[in-house]
Amino acid sequence: MIGLETIYVLAGGMFAAFAFSHAVDRANPARWRSTLFWGVFATLLILGSYLPHFVSGVMVLVLVGLAWIGLKPGPDATTDEQTRKKSAARLGNALFIAALAIPVVTLAGTLAFPHFKSLVDAKHVTLIALALGATVGLLLAMSLTRAPLSAAAAEGRRLVDSIGWATVLPQMLAALGGMFAAAGVGAIIAKLTSAAIPMSDAHVAQTITVVVYTCGMALFTMIMGNAFAAFPVMTAGIGLPLIVGKFGGDPVVMSALGMLSGFCGTLMTPMAANFNIVPAAVLELKDRNAVIKVQIPTALLLLFANTVLMSIFVYR
């Protein structure tokens, strides 16, 4: 049966190929640093389930150390612009077919796999479908461009070099989230914020509680980088006891708009690496906060809108 472990071996194999491609690249003076970085990451992907957690932890620290020293991308061995233009004119829109095959196959797989429970692990259909989409896309691209597998590895390495340490940042942030949860950071934040609400006038207190809840969702999401982590904390700490319990608000309106307020926070924080820092690296932006800066006005306007909507409809 195809499950997560199979996919991890596939992804790990790809990163091992990137490491190998660095190892044989004599032109890059810092090649061993990159070889070690991608090699350690590949090992964690492939053997993660079998290594003792302490060993994995030490390997994670090795990744951090290497990133701190600084990864240097190898020299680009890709085609020049003239060649690319000629190739684009020759292949035309067929190039799009290979690119769009990835989302189309991922979607088809997500819909179809649940009917093949003996073949595919039903709990992880989307990830497995994504891996299949990438494989189909790769086969199409290789047959279209008549490029060998080594070219695919070299070009993939070129991209991963341009993204660099940001590749592993989302996983590191998830690890921090786990540590926050274990240390009880959320409960303390909920206690501090609910203590800050004045309770003298009922109507004023109702409105202030909504403001504290929506803005608290946004702020705590900015700290955690993830609205899913902030939601249970803020809702158990403020939403349910005060908005619903004390003032009789509607829990459905509260939670729907509360989660969306959290999403506004996601748009404004480097801690949401997947959405804000990684794309800055993917698009090779000099300012790694450029995406956040563009998003802040929309995020603040929507946070304001969510707060107004909630204060109108939650106590109705």
**Of 27-35, 102-110, 200-208, 210-218, which segment contacts other proteins by CB under 8 A?**
102-110
From the list 36, 40, 125, 130, which residue makes contact with other proteins (rule: CB under 8 A)? 130
Residue 209 or 235 having the CB closest to other proteins = 235
Question: Is the CB of residue 250 less than 8 Å from the CB of residue 314?
Answer: yes
Hey, which residues between 19 and 48 contact other proteins (CB under 8 A)? Answer: 41, 44-45, 48
Q: Which of 24, 26, 27, 53 binds other proteins (CB under 8 A)?
A: 53
Residues near 159 by Cβ (< 8 Å), separated by ≥ 6? none
Contact 210, 311 (CB under 8 A): yes
Asked if 262 contacts 241 with a C-beta cutoff of 8 angstroms, the reply is no
Q: Between residue 230 and residue 269, which ones bind other proteins under the rule CB under 8 A?
A: 231-232, 235-236, 240, 244, 251-253, 255-257, 259-260, 263, 266-267
Stretch that binds other proteins, among 27-35, 84-92, 112-120, 208-216 (CB under 8 A): 84-92
Query: E-assigned strands of 78-219?
Result: none
Among 1, 88, 119, 199, which residue interacts with other proteins (rule: CB under 8 A)? 88
What is the pattern of x (binds other proteins, CB under 8 A) and - over residues 266-305? xx--xx-xxxxxxxx-xxxxxx--xx-xxx-xx--xx--x
CB of 37 to other proteins, least distance (A): 11
Structure tokens at 108: 């088809």
**Amino acid at the residue 263:** F
Whole-angstrom Cα distance, residue 297 to residue 305?
12
What is the CB-side half-sphere exposure of residue 172 using CA atoms within 13 A? 17
Q: Shortest approach of other proteins to residue 119 CB, angstroms?
A: 18
State residue 196 phi and psi, 5-degree precision.
Answer: -85, -5
Residue 118 Cβ, how far from other proteins at the closest point, in Å? 22
Q: What number of chain residues touch other proteins (CB under 8 A)?
A: 146
Question: Which string of DSSP letters, residue by residue, matches 261-282?
Answer: HHHHHHTT-TT-HHHHHHHHHH
Tell me if 211 contacts other proteins by CB under 8 A. no
